[in-house]
Amino acid sequence: MRNIKLVLEYDGTNYHGWQTQPNLPTVQATVENALTKLTKTPIQIIGAGRTDSGVHAAGQVANFHTTSQMPPTAFQKGLNATLPRDIVVCSATEVSAEFHARFSATSRRYRYTILNREYPSALSRQTSYFFPAEVAVARINALCQTLVGKHDFSSFQKVGSDRKNPVCEIYEVHWWKKEPYVYFEIEADSFLRGMVRAITGTVLAFNRKFLLTSGEKNMKYQEANTQLHRILEAKDRAAAGMSAPAHGLSLICVKYSI
């Protein structure tokens, strides 16, 4: 039995997330169907991240086991010839039997893309969130450093999630601007369901306060920092802000030690 690792890129617009769901189009089911046609045997794949409905990926990782003797490059070419155009296999490699796309991962990195100008885009409407208000990038970047480290992120977890341990360790957060976009990247050992979108929406709500509140900048930052700490300590989704839309989010890469 061989173990094949895939790196996938996909536009999540037309899918109800990564994970297979009855009677709904998902990325996992679409790739599995293509693999089954290619190998003429039922194949199940394991994904590194269960992206939600409408979320994209530039570096999703998956693996599957097969007795097929097809070379890895043939899997890549065969899948790309079979899959719809909004899912692409960037690479296919044979890995050790111990490799598990989800459990072997040491970190995952997401990027949220915001179109920050006065008018929307016809071309990037499905991959960026149109946000015409000014974004205080330096101040929200400083504020988000509060999230770095190991915390209980229950306040940013989607209601109804079945994950029992809400503790994650964030390694890095970074906001920056490159006209006409504002980007937010975050890397952690794991993420709760809906966590990145909830953090993004909450921080953008603080952004409005930064722009509207009078007084010294450091006082505004200190107040926001205190409020963000309170949101974390509440361990209650109702304490945080609204989630940013799914279509601005993309899984950028997954890192492994093996």
Structural contact between residues 206 and 141, judged by C-beta atoms closer than 8 angstroms = no
| 52 catalytic residue (yes or no) | yes
DSSP helix, strand, coil percent of the chain (3-state; round to 5): 30, 30, 35
**Six token digits for residue 86:** 């909004």
Among 52, 86, 162, 236, which one carries the catalytic annotation? 52
- Return the SS3 of 207: helix
- Whether the ω angle into residue 180 lies within 30 degrees of 0, i.e. cis, is yes
- Pseudo-torsion of CA 55, 175, 158, 5, nearest 10°? 50
Kind and range of the H or E run holding 185: strand 181-188
**Distances in Å between the alpha carbon of 41 and those of 32, 91, 140, 180?**
10, 21, 50, 47
Residues labelled catalytic: 52
